[in-house]
């Protein structure tokens, strides 16, 4: 599970560095549906399913935030005005 969280954070970082919010929302929706199917397939309890959903969304959003920070630092160094 730790490797999956690290991979999702890296995916979020790449998305944040390259794309805007609409792409993140699409990826979050896809991750939500995928994690629900994963939890049902592995017969997780309700609490385990909720923890899985929260951790996946959290890892993606933290990675996205770090990607936005990286993009804004690069844009500031290049002299570009607006990142968002």
pLDDT of res. 5: 76
Share the mean pLDDT of the chain. Answer: 83
Given this model, what pLDDT does residue 82 score?
59
The secondary structure of the chain in percent helix, strand, coil, rounded to multiples of 5, reads 85, 0, 15
pTM metric for this prediction: 0.75
Q: Looking at the predicted structure, is the pLDDT value of residue 83 above 70?
A: no
Average pLDDT rounded to a whole number, residues 29-45 = 88
Residue 17's pLDDT band (cuts 50, 70, 90)? confident
16 CB burial (10 A radius; 0-12, 13-18, 19+): buried
Interior angle at CA 12, CA 9 and CA 13, nearest 5: 85
- Indicate if the pLDDT at residue 28 is higher than 80: yes
């Amino acid at each position: 599970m730790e490797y999956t969280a690290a991979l999702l954070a890296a995916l979020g970082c790449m998305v944040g560095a390259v794309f805007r919010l609409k792409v993140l929302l699409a990826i979050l929706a896809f991750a939500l549906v995928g994690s629900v199917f994963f939890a049902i397939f592995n017969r997780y309890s309700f609490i385990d399913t909720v923890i899985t959903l929260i951790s996946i969304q959290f890892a993606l959003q933290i990675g996205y935030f770090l990607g936005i920070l990286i993009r804004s630092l690069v844009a500031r160094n290049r002299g570009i005005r607006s990142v968002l």
